[in-house]
Structure 1
Amino acid sequence: MTGTPSLTELTWARGFTDPAWVRRHTTSGRETVPSRRVWRGRTQPLDVPCAPHDLEALEFTTSGGRSLTLSALFAAAQTDAFLVMHRGTVVYERYLHGYESHVPHFNASAAKSYIGLLAAILADQGLLDRDALVTRYVPELTGTAFGEARVDDLLHMGTLMSYAGRPFDKAIEAQRYFAILAPQLRPYGYSGPASIREHLATARATGKPGTEFRYENGNVEALAEVLRRVTGISTSALLSDVIWSRLGAEEDAYYILDPEGTEAACGGFSATLRDVARLGEMIRCGGAVGDRQIVPESIATTIATGTPDGYPRRVRFPAAPPDSPATLSYHDLWWILNDPYESFMASGIHGQRLFISPKLDLVIAHFASQVMSPSVPPAPLVQAFIRIGTRLDAGI
């Protein structure tokens, strides 16, 4: 396919079987459904020093033994934008397929990690009890799988549920969730939930919370409602007040909204590449931007090491092949790589990544529009990130 699809045609691209459709979707959320801005505040954008490095010829070997250059990786991943920061300096930045640096791009499920960060901050402030049942904050969830769980179970994808009595199927439930946010995606005769609130109310527990890892959007939406009840403000306002307006961001970010005006916290967040990289650099620097402490240092420095007892130390990444070794952990909605560099990342479908590696002094932000299909192998992004970091650390 060539050219840019029309917005009026976008709803016919169900399944998004072409990267061009995915790219149109990931860069035009505000034009297709209601949205609410995450205000960047009145401060001047934080100046980010740049010292370009030539990484184009850098080669790395995939787990299957194939050698790739960075350009080949971009092609395999359908990369839209890529930024590397090393020791606080941008050493590589590139935009492809006509995507522009000032345009917010969906972060997809990478946004889950930002909700986890907010929850950890509120818990550190004593406003949120991780061990409390969710119904303490959201009584309307009484009798649901999420209401019977603890806040900490939501933060670690520790609930087992089925929706409306259906056998749980992650892919199908994700599509049903999308139909809540975009009514035009609903099939003829649809009579299901019309809002995130109604969707959560249909979840029933099928197992004891905190005993098994199951990656599911409802955990994050229930957690976001908890945070709204604790603070009395919207998810957009909370993220702005606590982080975005203090980060030195260049642009407002935004969340898309469901028909009731509730933010899609688990994946409806969009921001520019540079601002996402600023977020990562703040975390890498122990939660500080210069002399301003944005996130408590105790939170920022323990993301990779803080998985509590009772939760799986090894979980499988959702896009990994079924026979792949389970090498990741999960903590406060962040993926933990368990590598020698204490790396962790926020990760979203289609290739969105915010990769932070404290021991390599490395932050990488990646936006992409890769089609998710068994016939399209996932690009080896993490292997490339670590290769870049080790080479930069060695002084190339």
Structure 2
Amino acid sequence: MNDPTRLGDLLWTRGYTDPAWIRRFTSVGRELSPSRRVWRGAEPARVLPGEPVGLDALDLGIGGATMTLPDLFTSAQTDAFLVLHRGSVVHETYRHGVEAHTPHFNASAAKSYLGLMVATLAHQGLLDRSARACAYVPELAGTAFGDAPVEDLLHMGTQVGYAGRPFDKAIEAQRYYAVIAPRLRPYGYNGPTTIREHLLTARATGKPGAEFRYENGNVETLAEVLRRVTGLTTSALLSEMIWSRIGAEEDAYYILDSDGVEAACGGFSAIARDVARVGEMLRCGGAVGDRQVVPEEVAKSVTSGVPDGYPRRVRFPAAPPESPATLSYHDLWWVLNDPYDSYMASGIHGQRLFVSPGLDLVAVHFGSQVISPDVPVAPLVQAFLRIGVHLGATR
């Protein structure tokens, strides 16, 4: 008899061990689900200068064995990889039918873009980080997320159980997919059918701010707070605050639930070049040329602003359970605590936006890597750092 509490027995996980199946959803999401565009704006695209550098033969020096970029791409099931060094494109690769103009699923990397908007509005005095979320979304009062301060949501600081279930991160992630994607619901599913319904089932199992627990509901609550504060959809707000101000080449898009609400924690797709423009804007202190897109204080606070009382070291979700905790987490960004002030937005199946001011580096990786205990996690961060150090020494 199948145990319904085990992730491996859930019918909607079928296909997660097939890169081709994953790629179908990472590259054509808007053909499979309702979506809403994030407008690039009316201005011409900002040119990314190209200064190609041969990196394919570089030994990335990982794990004591020779690994080159082509080896890494095979390991990570890479769909797109782009590197900016000092603002110039030094490497750009597209594989498996993905092209430069193809929007690709960013998965949980999208959390970090939402974090930028929350931090910016708070910096502008339009949002109180110390206020409970229910001050902005009254119907969430009495739920784990509604009763938590905005600050705790930004740091994954809630302890929550849904509908009386014991919390299991992997299973709750799959149940979230069932909420937003009817085609992924198992036979007999009778749970929430919208993001808002899902949030209403959350109950606190511990005091907010006491520990780090990576959970999508924190981000969906923040997205709802932003909608109430600004009166705009998540798509319109991202367009107004960031996408139309970075010189983007293409519209991005969010997939929607059956209420027409964006899946803010991971339903976002964009082309690699535009994600790189977001990273370059941040590397340059929040500015694109003479335009300040996000306040310089917000851009710099990603690595410097972890508040007292929040964990300075947390375990990356894709890391094995026995791995040491080496990262910090601030305003929905992963902070590496390395000598280069590096940080990143990260998503399932190998989506990364890596920003390293100290190395003058921005790297974007899109992938369709399978999630399985039998498949080693591709060493993307180690590769980014090795490339950055190499470029700094040779350019």
Residues 134-283 of structure 1: matches in 2 within 5 Å?
134-283=133-282
Classify the secondary structure of the residue corresponding to 2:60.
strand
Q: Report the Cα distance in structure 2 between the residues aligned to 1:229 and 1:66, rounded to whole angstroms.
A: 52
Distance in 2, matches of 1:127 and 1:206, equals 30
What is the deviation of 1:12?
A: 8.2
How far residue 66 of structure 1 moved from its aligned partner, in angstroms, is 2.7
- 1:177 and 1:225 map into 2 onto residues whose CA distance is 16
Question: Which residue of 1 is the match for residue 5 of structure 2?
Answer: none
Counterpart residue number, 2:46: 46
TM-score after normalising by structure 2: 0.96
Aligned residue pairs total 385
The whole-number CA distance in structure 2 between the counterparts of 1:80 and 1:251 is 18
Q: Is the 8 A contact 1:13 1:21 kept in 2?
A: no
2 CA distance for matches of 1:98 and 1:135? 45
Aligned to 1:324, the other structure's residue is in SS state: coil
Report if the CA contact (8 A) 1:273-1:367 is conserved: yes
Partner of 1:128: 127
Query: What is the match of residue 29 of structure 2?
Result: 29
For residues 93-125 of structure 1, give each alpha carbon's deviation from its aligned partner in whole angstroms, at most 9, with x where no partner exists: 010111111010000000000000000010011
CA contact (8 A) 1:329 1:338 kept: yes
8 A contact 1:61–1:68 mirrored in 2: yes
Structure 1: runs of 5+ lacking an equivalent? 1-10
Contact 1:107 1:267 in 2 (8 A): yes
Match of 2:341 in 1: 342
Amino acid at match of 2:372: S
Larger deviation, residues 64-73 vs 221-230: 64-73
Bigger Cα displacement from structure 2, 299-308 vs 332-341? 299-308
Runs (4+) off by over 2 Å: 11-16, 64-67
Contact 2:12 2:174 (8 Å CA) reproduced? no
What one-letter code is carried by the residue in structure 1 that aligns with 2:37? R
Deviation at 1:188, TM superposition (A): 1.6
With normalisation by structure 1, the TM-score equals 0.96
Tell me, yes or no, if the aligned pair for 2:350 and 2:369 is still in contact at 8 Å. yes
Q: State the shift of 1:323 in Å.
A: 1.1
Aligned to 2:381: 382
CA distance in 1, matches of 2:43, 2:19: 36
Q: Secondary structure at the match of 1:130?
A: coil
1-structure distance, mates of 2:113, 2:264: 9
Task: State the AA in 2 paired with 1:14.
Answer: R
Q: Deviations over 1:347-386 (max 9, x none)?
A: 0000000000001100000100000110101000000000
Residue-by-residue CA offset, 1:254-293 (whole Å, 9 max, x unaligned)? 0000000000000000000000000100010001110000
- Give the structure 1 partner of residue 8 of structure 2: none
* Equivalent pair of 2:12/2:186 in contact (CA under 8 Å): no
Question: Which deviates further from its counterpart, 254-263 or 297-306?
Answer: 297-306
The residue identity in structure 2 corresponding to 1:302 is: S
Residues 158 and 206, structure 2, Cα contact 8 Å, conserved in 1: yes
Contact 2:40 2:247 in 1 (8 A): yes
Does structure 2 retain, via aligned residues, the 8 Å contact 1:157–1:215? yes
- Judge conservation of contact 2:15–2:22 (CA < 8 Å) in 1: no
* Percent identity (aligned): 72
* C-alpha distance in structure 2 between counterparts of 1:394 and 1:323, whole Å: 34
C-alpha distance in 2 between matches for 1:46 and 1:65: 40
Deviation at 1:61, TM superposition (A): 2.4
Residue 340 of structure 2 contacts residue 359 of structure 2 at CA under 8 Å; is this kept in 1?
yes
Report how far residue 17 of structure 1 moved: 1.5
1:190, CA displacement in angstroms?
1.2
One-letter code aligned to 2:162 = Y
Query: The residue matched to 1:364 in structure 2 has which SS?
Result: strand
2:16 aligns with 16
Checking the alignment, whether the CA contact within 8 Å between 1:159 and 1:208 is kept in structure 2 is: yes
SS in 1 for 2:315: coil
> Cα RMSD between the aligned structures?
1.1
- Residue in 1 aligned with 2:316? 317
Which segment is superposed worse, 182-191 or 280-289?
182-191
Q: Which residue does the alignment assign to 1:6?
A: none
The one-letter amino acid paired with 2:46 is L
Kindly provide the amino acid, as one letter, of the partner of residue 347 in structure 1.
S
Whole-Å Cα distance in 1 between the matches of residues 149 and 84 of structure 2?
Answer: 37
Paired position in structure 2 for 1:5 = none
Shift in Å, 1:38: 0.2
Counterpart residue number, 2:64: 65
Distance 1:138 1:67 in 2: 53
Q: Secondary structure, in 3 states, of the residue corresponding to 1:223?
A: helix
Secondary structure at the aligned position of 2:64 is classed as coil
